[in-house]
Structure 1
Amino acid sequence: MSLQENPGLGGSAHAAFVDLPVLESIAHNLYFLVVQAILWNQTHGKQARPIFLALIERYPDPKSLSKASLEELTELLRPLGLHNIRASRCIALGICWDKDPPTPGRQHRRKGYPRASLAASEDDAYEIGHLPGVGPYALDSFRIFHRDEMRGLAKDWLGTGATGEDFEPEWKRVVPLDKELRAYLKWRWLKEGFVWNEENGNLTAADEGFLAVAARPRDER
């Protein structure tokens, strides 16, 4: 299956990455989302992007990744550094996913998530928490961009198609450490009329100046 045929990228893969932030462009494909998180860890997105495209072209699903040659995958990931670790982690991810795929209604806790400075609750368990290589960045990305869709609560991360009166998009409960996810949520909250505190998630009403920023296209801010 080519990238152009894969519905998770919504058409041309390269066009999707140019037109939208990476995570938005792959939000409907959980496998892509998790692999992206592993590759982006400790790496600039610009450097990781072509490697990610090559990887999902060669290994378009967990089963194919589980059968990948460690030597070949290590060579593919070499430009990113930590290639031996990343390759082993990706194959372990594929094996675990193939045997025990993420399933709605079955959550797993992840030690250290959410971070200690945030109030934890008995609900802090997630459908991808058991997968190798899944850390805070992957969990935050999953919660922001895919969890509502996976649980059948909405058609996307913005709440499209949600019917419950008390529905609140999962992204509104995420307080990430990653600077790009923080920037995204700041912008998303401004669209809702609030200034979001990236340290604790607290909200204050946005004034006209902030709202004007939110109204501009993201590449002009």
Structure 2
Amino acid sequence: MKNSNKPTTGAMSERKGPLIINLKNYLEISGDKALSLTREAERVSERTDIEIILSPPLPLLAWITKNTKLSVIAQHVDTQQPGPSTGFSIPEIVKGAGGVGSLINHSEHPVNQEIIKDLVPRLRSLGLLSIVCAKNLPELKNITSMCPDYVAIEPPELIGTTKSIATEKPSLISDSFQHLKLVASQSKLICGAGINSSEDIRIAIKLGSKGILAASSVVKSKNWYEKINELASQF
């Protein structure tokens, strides 16, 4: 199936979510296994009408986009320009591969503020979404001023653990939401870090998060469909 479900910049579809699944570089999704997970995510999205977005490793991005109707984003993009920029991932190539946007500044691949300032408008000019991660409230406030489409609050010490931002640091979600509301930001709030259960998502949504960024809880699950379905059930 060809990926024809491309959202316009500044908003996803009117469906609930998004639930963004970051596949990272886990061996559980290497090779053909990434497409198997994609198929399970499609089943959930079709059944629940939840917007599910996949973020695969760059070598798999074009292959996934050509074989799914789900939206697919890059895990990272660089500021280098088209042409002689060997080894870098640039927005124009991501778009050409069928991607609809990119994560920026994930705690496992942080970048400085000047790079974020460069990438957000560049992605927008290409019709691509910017989903910028922040590790704490001060960083979120700085990032919000750059007007990304989404800002994702993720305390790094909880990423990849069974301790969720929703239960360990719920005020970080609510304070982030209140800041976006206070400054009348067009950016929408996403949260992540330790999101493992439907209860985590129920709390996060109640506290003001529009979407969820999940990774290991899905990828390392023994049953991808059941885990994705569980997480999607609370939107």
Pairwise same-fold verdict (TM > 0.5): no
In terms of Rg, which structure is larger?
A: 1
* TM-score of the superposed pair, with normalisation by structure 1: 0.34
Which has the larger share of strand? 2
* TM-score of the superposed pair, with normalisation by structure 2: 0.32
Structure with the bigger RCO (C-alpha within 8 Å, sep 6+) is 2
Which has the larger share of helix? 1
